[in-house]
Amino acid sequence: MRLSVALAFAGTAESLRLDHHAKRLARKRMSREANNKVHAADKKSVKLDPTENEHANPFFVRDWWPHPAGPKDDAAKSNPENAETLATEEANAEAMNADGFAINKEYEAEASKKASDNDAFNEELKKKAEEEKGKAKKAEEDAKAVKKKAEETRKAALKALLDNLQTKVSDLQAFKNKELAKCDSDLTGARNKWQGDQQWFHRERQNAANNFRGRVNRAPWWKKIFVYAKSLVQYHRRLRQIEHEMGPKKRSWKGAKDKHRKCMLQRREFDWQIAQAKAKYEEARGTPETDYLGCFADKPQRAMMRVRGWFSIKKCAKACGKRGTENMAMQDGHQCFCGRATQHEKYGKKPDGDCSKPCEYPEEREAGKKCGGAWRNSVYQLK
Band the pLDDT of 58: cuts 50, 70, 90.
Answer: low
pLDDT at residue 52 tops 50: no
CB 350 within 8 A of CB 372: no
Q: What is the 3-state secondary structure (H, E, C) of 305-339?
A: EEECCCCCHHHHHHHHHHCCCCEEEEECCCEEEEE
The span from the CA of 336 to the CA of 344, in Å, is 13
pTM of the predicted structure, to 2 decimals: 0.37
More confident residue, 153 or 49: 153
232-241 confidence digits (pLDDT tens): 999 999 999 9
CB 358 within 8 A of CB 371: yes
Q: What is the DSSP letter of 369?
A: -
How many other C-beta atoms lie within 10 A of the C-beta of residue 157? 11
Domain edges within the chain: 178-283, 287-382
How many other C-beta atoms lie within 10 A of the C-beta of residue 152? 10
- On average, the pLDDT of the chain sits at 79
Q: Quick one: pLDDT at residue 376?
A: 93
**216-238 CB burial, b ≥16 within 10 A, e <16:** beebeeeeeeebeeebeeebeeb
Which residue from 376, 368, 313, 329 is spatially nearest to 349, judged by alpha carbons? 376
Band the pLDDT of 257: cuts 50, 70, 90.
Answer: confident
2-38 confidence digits (pLDDT tens): 555 455 555 576 777 777 778 888 887 787 777 666 5
* Backbone φ and ψ of 27, nearest 5°: -65, -40
